Amino acid sequence: MSWLVALWETFTNPVFYKLTLSAATPLIFAALGGVFSERTGVTNIALEGIMLMGAFMGVAGTFLFGSPWIGLLLAIVCGMGLALLHAWASINFCADQIVSATALILLAQGLTGFLLEPIFGQPGSTPIFPKIPEVKLTFLGTDSFLYRMIGSLSPLVYIAFLLVIVSWFLIYKTRLGLRMRAVGENPEAADTLGVNVFRIRYFGVIMSGFFAALGGAYLSIGELGQFTENMTGGKGFIALAAMILGNWKPAGAMWACLLFGVAQALNQQLQSNPTLAISSTTKPLFNLLPFVITLIVVGGFVGRTRAPAADGVPYEKKG
């Protein structure tokens, strides 16, 4: 009975919706990144690592240059750099894309942990810095339900949803998008027509770095204002699951990310709900929820949705 009350309390609480958007935003960025890369035929499971890099560089940039916007820029550059390594190994050297990406995740974890002391003077986490200022919709009335729901979100939230539309347009309505899709399905066919398969794949992978870095930066300079070691906590992989669930489409991925956002927000709200009064020892069991859901999604939906035909297969020109 108390569960139902708790659920009602949660769904009528504007904070729940704000948390959903907040949780979904980094996932949307990363999932879009996954879509870009895999649509051109290169798997990129290093999203987790690129996000972490983005999160770290966001704070580092803020610290070193004084503005979180510069931090954002630094995050994007470094994220794209990491993605470039993956592209280079996978496209030019036909590396095992899964192993290469795993290496990059480890590299990101190692580098970000390593650089904490040299740059910030303390291990484990950074001090708190000013984050990207939120967009305040004061015209809604600071006490209203709507305001508490969406009235003070980070601009990155808006950017995320905007980018979903931009991505859809690019992939389905432009020439570049047509070529991307062709290269992801049958690179040889595209090659025989003079399409530069390598260049398109580089584009896809580097863009995944761009998006994932944004997602990571949101976690640090968009939400918390600081970086803690391994703060991405598996979100990069949840984004991959969202991409699969969304059938490798920007809009589909977005909905899937919102679903995961709901799960995360529900988790947080129920944990702190006074009616349920969850003890601190039981809390970790709640944290399981997003991972179990991901497991079910990946286990159940993989066969039902369709990856691009040439996804993960290195392309080698003959002769």
Partner 1 sequence: MLPFQIPEPSAYSRYAVVMKKIRKQFPKVLANDDVDLYVERGEIHAIVGENGAGKSTLMNQLYGLYSPDSGEILVGGEEVVIHGPKDAINAGIGMVHQHFMLVGPLTVAENIVLGNEPVGAMDVFRYQKARQEVQKISQAYGLTVDVDARIEDLPVGSQQRVEILKTLYRGAEILILDEPTAVLTPQETEDLFRVLKNLQKNGKTVIFITHKLNEVMAVSNNVTVMRLGKVTGRIPTSETSPRKLANMMVGREVLLRVEKSPHKPGSEILRVDSLKVKDNRGLMAVEGVSFTLHEGEILGIAGVAGNGQTELIESLAGLRKADSGSVFFEGADITQKAPRDIRELGISHIAEDRFKYAMVREFSVAFNMALGRHYKHPFAKSGFLREEEIYQNAKKLVEEFDVRPREIHILASNLSGGNQQKMVVAREFAYHPKCMLVAQPTRGLDIGAIEFIHKTLIHFRDSNVGILLVSMELEEIFSLCDRILVMYEGSFMGEVKPDEISLEEIGLMMAGQTWEQVEGERA
Partner 2 sequence: MKTNLRRVLIPIVSVFISLLVASVIILWIGEGGFGERFVFLGDAYRAMLKGAFGDTAAWMDTIIKMTPLILTGLAVGFGFRAGVFNIGAEGQMAMGALTATLFAVNASSFPAFIAIPLTVIVGMLAGSVWAGIAGFLKAKTGAHEVITTIMLNWIAYNITNWAVSGPFNDGLNNPRSPEIAEATKLPNILSSQATFMSYGILIAIAAAVVIYVILYKTSMGYEIKSVGFNPYASEYGGINVSKNIILTMAISGALAGLAGTLESMGLYYRFYGTLTSGKGFDGISIALIGQNNPFGIIFASLLISGLRTGSNQMQYVGVPKHIVTIIQSIIIFLVAAERIITSLLRLDKRKGGAA
**Site for partner 1, rule CB under 8 A:** 173-179, 181-182, 185-186, 188-195, 309, 318-319
Q: Which stretch binds partner 2 (CB under 8 A): 156-164, 209-217, 267-275, 277-285?
A: 277-285
> Computed over its alpha carbons, how large is the radius of gyration of the chain?
20
User: How far from each other are the two terminal CA atoms of the chain, in whole angstroms?
Assistant: 70
Nearer to partner 2, 7 or 111 (CB): 111
Interaction partner, residue 121 (partner 1, partner 2, none; CB < 5-8 Å by kind): none
Please pick, from the candidates 12, 284, 317, 318, the single residue that binds partner 2 as defined by CB under 8 A.
Answer: 284
Nearer to partner 1, 108 or 182 (CB): 182
Which residues lie across from 135 on neighbouring strands? 153
Rounded Cα–Cα distance for residues 13 and 35 (Å):
33
Considering the rule CB under 8 A, would residue 288 count as an interface residue with partner 2? yes
The nearest distance, CB 8 to partner 2, in angstroms, is 27
> Tokens 């489409």 label which residue?
249
Rounded Cα–Cα distance for residues 133 and 136 (Å):
9
Max CA pair span of the chain: 70
String marking each residue 193-232 x if it binds partner 2 according to CB under 8 A = ----------------------------------------
Residue 107 carries which side chain, given as an amino acid letter? L
- Which strand (E) or helix (H) includes residue 152? strand 152-153
Considering the rule CB under 8 A, would residue 37 count as an interface residue with partner 2? no
The nearest distance, CB 43 to partner 2, in angstroms, is 9
- Retrieve residue 284's tokens: 């970790």
The nearest distance, CB 181 to partner 1, in angstroms, is 7
Interaction partner, residue 113 (partner 1, partner 2, none; CB < 5-8 Å by kind): partner 2
Please pick, from the candidates 70, 107, 137, 278, the single residue that binds partner 2 as defined by CB under 8 A.
Answer: 107
Considering the rule CB under 8 A, would residue 102 count as an interface residue with partner 2? yes
User: Which residues contact residue 19 at a Cβ distance below 8 angstroms, ignoring those fewer than 6 apart?
Assistant: 261, 264, 265, 268, 269
Residue 98 C-alpha from the chain's centroid: 18
Q: Are 43 and 201 in contact (CB under 8 A)?
A: no
Rounded Cα–Cα distance for residues 173 and 120 (Å):
45
Interface residues with partner 2 (CB under 8 A)? Answer: 45, 85, 89-90, 93-96, 98-100, 102-107, 109-111, 113-118, 123, 233-234, 237, 240-241, 280-282, 284-285, 287-288, 291-292, 294-295, 298-300, 302-303
